[in-house]
Amino acid sequence: MSRLVVVSNRIAIPNKSKSSAGGLAVGIMDALKNTSGLWFGWSGEISEISGEEEEELDIVEKDGITYATVPLNQNDYDLYYCQFSNAVIWPAFHYRIDLVDFQREAWEGYCRVNDLLARQLQPLIKPDDILWIHDYHLLPFAAALRKIGVTNRIGFFLHIPFPTPEVFNALPTHKELLEMMCEYDLLGFQTETDRNAFVENLDQLTPLEDVAPNTHRAFGHTFKTEVYPISIAPDSIKQMAEGPLPPKIDMMKRELSNAKNIISCERLDYTKGLPERFLAFEALLEHYPQHRGKVRYSQIAPTSRGDVQAYQDLRHQLEMEVGRINGKYGSLNSTPLYYLNQHFDRRLLMKIFRLTDVGLVTPLRDGMNLVAKEYIAAQDPEDPGVLVLSRFTGAANEMTGALIVNPYDRDEVAAALDQALTMGREERISRYNEMMKILRENDIAHWGETYLKDLRALPERGSEKSSTAKAATP
């Protein structure tokens, strides 16, 4: 079997002292172990080297996988990561054009770092390797590799949504980005909606030929687009959630007594709909007064990208809303809303999920949302909690046993919370079993195996050109 080379913005080198790896790392490491593969990307370190100098790769071998990492200098980090990746692509792809801060210098830095990473990876690539590139930081990466002569099969998987033309066309470099993405052999998306949006963008900008089902030709390149909903390892999550409770969780369980508990957990980000969620919880307390003093909503939201003004503003807004809602509906012996701006160990989180009655997952826009799947997998099969899920997540296409809501409609979310809090055990078990069946059939291993099987089945760029030339010979 050909060796797998994975490229991502950051690399998760296993460390026993740290919490267990998340969904992407689990799926990738299993695939890499099967082929003694290579994982390449940014180390997360900022180098003092500047200008035209290039830092040497740091190569580590562990458990049959080779990890190759490289630092970035401060200027490249600012332009490639902070500015273009997270102040242009991230908001635009999540339909927040109002937050896009496009600067031509940042676009040039984004492309330059992709070129730099491609040059550093090239000497490590073997002739029969297949390459699997991940996420929005590396949209031009295949184009950068093709420029320096790499003809291996190269696949790409997008972990976030892909916007419709009305949104995507607002980016000044939208055509250049699309043309670069066509250098991939296989483009994987979370949902059919995202795949269709990508194809529709192409169709509006350039002649697009469908040469086979989901196989297209544009900008002189032939490539395939497919849908691969990323998932989790449900049995591993279940195992983490079971067993004795740590003292702090046991104390929390005793404090709750007969009160119901709603849980939400995600990093602090404007795409997650946290202010809208707080207002929906307030609507629950206002319109369903029977729950006052009998329910607690815990929102875990560790800071991310804290140096970005939009995230600082969001944190301040949430802190204000928490104080207002608790001041309005709290009492001497009841605090309805807990907001925790801190990180929790993943194993601990799974135990918390298992103890809670409702998982509230209502982002305004999300590629998949693995927290929704983890919440279900962590539940007690005999007494499961209920998932309230935004219709604008990729997970909503699979997790049909959840209560699906529009996160912009606070009254609809409040009604769903009331339904979840009062739902009988028989219905909860039925919904849980329906969703667990899907999670087990389409787990993280199935996701990786399906994608790589499709990528390996495609011809290399060199063989495609050769076949085309032969066909054109009279």
Q: The CATH number of the domain where 342 resides is what?
A: 3.40.50.2000
In this structure, are 194 and 224 located in the same domain?
yes
- The rounded Cα 186 to chain-centroid distance in angstroms is 19
pLDDT given at position 53: 67
Other residues' Cβ atoms within 10 Å of the Cβ of residue 211 = 10
Question: pLDDT tens digits for 313-334?
Answer: 899 999 999 999 999 999 988 8
Averaged pLDDT score across all residues of the chain: 92
In this structure, are 187 and 48 located in the same domain?
yes
In this structure, are 455 and 435 located in the same domain?
no
Q: Calculate the dihedral angle through the C-alpha atoms of 338, 343, 344, 350, rounding to the nearest 10 degrees.
A: 80
| H-assigned helices in 122-189 | 141-147, 165-168, 174-181
Query: Quick one: average pLDDT of 292-298?
Result: 95
Above 80 in pLDDT, residue 377?
Answer: yes
Catalytic pick among 129, 269, 357, 366: 366
Q: Is residue 302 a part of any domain in this protein?
A: yes
Query: Quick one: average pLDDT of 334-363?
Result: 94
Catalytic pick among 94, 134, 137, 159: 159
pLDDT given at position 306: 65
DSSP assignment of 290-324 equals GGTTTEEEEEE----STTSHHHHHHHHHHHHHHHH
In this structure, are 221 and 365 located in the same domain?
no
pLDDT given at position 471: 36
pLDDT given at position 72: 94
Above 80 in pLDDT, residue 257?
Answer: no
Q: Is residue 464 a part of any domain in this protein?
A: no
pLDDT given at position 138: 98
Query: Quick one: average pLDDT of 135-141?
Result: 98
Q: Which domain holds residue 182?
A: 4-231+446-459
User: Known catalytic residue: 366?
Assistant: yes
In this structure, are 393 and 272 located in the same domain?
yes
Residue 337, class by beta-carbon neighbours within 10 Å (0-12 exposed, 13-18 middle, 19+ buried)? buried
Above 80 in pLDDT, residue 256?
Answer: no
- Measured CA to CA in angstroms, residue 67 lies from 71, 122, 298 at distances of 13, 15, 37
CA-to-CA distance for 114 and 137, rounded, in angstroms? Answer: 8
Above 50 in pLDDT, residue 470?
Answer: no
Query: Quick one: average pLDDT of 367-381?
Result: 97
Q: Is residue 41 a part of any domain in this protein?
A: yes
pLDDT given at position 312: 86
Query: Quick one: average pLDDT of 369-380?
Result: 97
Q: Is residue 398 a part of any domain in this protein?
A: yes
Q: Is residue 435 a part of any domain in this protein?
A: yes
Above 80 in pLDDT, residue 304?
Answer: no
pTM for the full model? 0.93
Query: Quick one: average pLDDT of 372-385?
Result: 98
Q: Is residue 45 a part of any domain in this protein?
A: yes
User: Known catalytic residue: 174?
Assistant: no
Q: Residue 135: which region, alpha, beta or left (left: phi > 0; alpha: psi -120 to 50)?
A: left
In this structure, are 220 and 342 located in the same domain?
no
Q: Is residue 85 a part of any domain in this protein?
A: yes
| H-assigned helices in 330-460 | 346-355, 370-377, 410-422, 425-441, 444-456
Above 60 in pLDDT, residue 467?
Answer: no
pLDDT given at position 208: 97
Query: Quick one: average pLDDT of 165-181?
Result: 97
User: Which two three-digit tokens encode residue 209?
Assistant: 């030929």
Q: Is residue 474 a part of any domain in this protein?
A: no
Question: pLDDT tens digits for 60-74?
Answer: 999 899 999 999 999
Number of domains in the chain: 2
